[in-house]
């Protein structure tokens, strides 16, 4: 195992690897896994990747599981990076436009990446019961991977979570609890009950390993683009683990000698009805206040308060990126536009990246000929209520 320690993303306190942790005991902020990248580089090489399995576990040396028998997998990762030439032709500026389509993951969203890592580590560390709040897709992923590992999954979701997610969780053996409130209310219930119930909390960024699975989107993107990162990445942001993970991956890849120090401009895309990161970023703040009366049809973006807010905003500023809020009518219309142009039935969260890109073009924040990647984080078929 190449893990050297865990480190608080805020105060820098170190924690010994191989133990169960949630948040930093000093400041209550997320912990990140650190690796001996020099040791990892001895076997994790570009040439070695050519013969490895087409899953995210191809990057095993920079993932936290020590023993291979503890890896809980459904074949996640190495999702398509698709050229979107027809979509690009409808834009007012010539671009090299791509869509990274995470809907091809098991359970049909990028959440599978985080849960394969989190549940594998839970298994390795002896966890028998897990719990998490979710807007839908994370619950579906946890239910599936926990079932495969023989671990209990206790899930708390808002009552108006898409039916596809609720049914999916029930059919994969999870204990499903519907809550009259938002994901933040669900999170409070988990926090209040976890100790007495014996649950390990796998909430977004409240354990160190989901971000490790999500960071593989950054590794894949670099590999699929011939080890050259794009100019701009637009990423739909609820809890923000995917954006945080990719930013971490870029630093790791530079240390491995795979890429140089150039970074994409990272763009956080949120719904206008729930845009805490957008509001804090443009106000010059590092931490985002809870967004009151949050509402959006894109359930994955309905996260009023993200514990990793400062990590998201730090990445946006360091990359000279930005944050954009998109009204629901625009993101829902974009689902059909992307579908008609490229044949992808995107989740509303992913579709929000298209009107966000148009906004950037209008504001001269994207230049002619740049390479731009939009992330579709899930499958539109899970949101049928949005289109009835």
Mean pLDDT on 258-287: 98
For 257, phi then psi, to 5°, come to 85, 15
Sign of the four-CA dihedral 18, 20, 22, 26? negative
Q: pLDDT at position 388, please?
A: 83
Domain span holding position 269? 81-109+211-387
**Which position has the token pair 């359930």?**
299
Parallel, antiparallel, or unpaired for β 3-8 and 14-15?
A: antiparallel
Q: Is residue 56 part of a domain?
A: no
Can you give the pTM of this predicted structure? 0.95
221/124 Cα distance (integer angstroms):
28
Residue 61 pLDDT level (bands cut at 50, 70, 90): very high
pLDDT in tens, 89-107: 999 999 999 999 999 999 9
Q: Is residue 177 part of a domain?
A: no
pLDDT in tens, 162-191: 999 999 999 999 999 999 999 989 999 999
Nearest to 214 by CA among 238, 176, 181, 241: 241
* Res 139 pLDDT > 80: yes
Q: Is residue 164 part of a domain?
A: no
Q: What CATH number did the domain enclosing 235 receive?
A: 3.40.50.1100
Q: Is residue 312 part of a domain?
A: yes
Q: Is residue 248 part of a domain?
A: yes
Parallel, antiparallel, or unpaired for β 371-376 and 3-8?
A: unpaired
Total of domains in the chain: 1
Is the Cβ–Cβ distance between 106 and 74 less than 8 Å?
Answer: yes
Is the Cβ–Cβ distance between 333 and 298 less than 8 Å?
Answer: no
Q: pLDDT at position 135, please?
A: 86
For 155, phi then psi, to 5°, come to -115, 135
Which residues is 34 bridged to in the sheet?
A: 5
Which residues is 109 bridged to in the sheet?
A: 378
Q: Is residue 200 part of a domain?
A: no
198/242 Cα distance (integer angstroms):
28
Q: Is residue 20 part of a domain?
A: no
* Res 1 pLDDT > 80: no
| C-beta atoms surrounding 39 within 10 Å | 13
Residue 337 pLDDT level (bands cut at 50, 70, 90): very high
Q: Is residue 141 part of a domain?
A: no
Nearest to 248 by CA among 52, 45, 31: 31
297/358 Cα distance (integer angstroms):
20
344/379 Cα distance (integer angstroms):
9
289 is written with which tokens? Answer: 């206040």
Mean pLDDT on 297-321: 96
């Amino acid at each position: 195992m190449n893990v050297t320690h865990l480190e608080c993303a805020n105060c820098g306190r170190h924690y010994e690897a191989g133990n169960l942790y949630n948040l930093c005991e000093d400041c209550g902020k997320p912990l990140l896994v650190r690796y001996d990248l020099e040791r990892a580089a001895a076997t994790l090489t570009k040439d070695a990747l050519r013969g490895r399995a087409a899953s995210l576990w191809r990057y095993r040396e920079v993932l936290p599981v020590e023993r291979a028998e503890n890896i809980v997998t459904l074949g996640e990762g190495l999702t398509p990076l698709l050229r979107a030439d027809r979509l690009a032709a409808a834009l007012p500026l010539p671009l090299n436009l791509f869509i990274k389509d995470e809907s091809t993951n098991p359970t049909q969203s990028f959440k599978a990446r985080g849960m394969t890592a989190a549940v594998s580590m839970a298994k390795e560390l002896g966890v028998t019961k897990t719990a998490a709040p979710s807007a839908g897709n994370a619950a579906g992923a946890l239910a599936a991977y926990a079932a495969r590992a023989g671990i209990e999954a206790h899930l708390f979701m808002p009552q108006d979570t898409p039916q596809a997610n609720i049914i999916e969780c029930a059919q994969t053996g999870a204990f499903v609890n519907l809550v009259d409130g938002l994901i933040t209310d669900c999170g409070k219930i988990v926090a209040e009950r976890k100790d007495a119930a014996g649950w390990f909390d796998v909430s977004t960024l409240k354990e160190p390993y989901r971000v490790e699975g999500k960071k593989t989107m950054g590794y894949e993107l670099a590999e699929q683009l011939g080890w050259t990162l794009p100019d701009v990445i637009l990423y739909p942001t609820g809890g923000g683990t995917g954006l945080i993970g990719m930013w971490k991956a870029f630093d790791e890849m530079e240390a491995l000698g795979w890429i140089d120090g150039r970074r994409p401009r990272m763009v956080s895309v949120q719904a206008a009805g729930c845009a805490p990161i957008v509001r804090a970023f443009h106000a010059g703040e590092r931490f985002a206040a809870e967004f009151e009366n949050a509402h959006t049809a894109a359930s994955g973006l309905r996260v009023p308060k993200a514990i990793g807010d400062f990590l998201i905003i730090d990445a946006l500023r360091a990359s000279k990126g930005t944050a954009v809020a998109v009204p629901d009518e625009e993101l829902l219309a974009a689902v059909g536009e992307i579908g008609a142009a490229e044949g992808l039935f995107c989740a509303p969260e992913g579709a929000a990246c298209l009107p966000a890109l148009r906004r950037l073009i209008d504001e001269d924040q994207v230049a002619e000929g740049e390479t731009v990647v939009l992330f579709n984080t899930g499958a539109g078929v899970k949101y049928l209520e949005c289109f009835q």
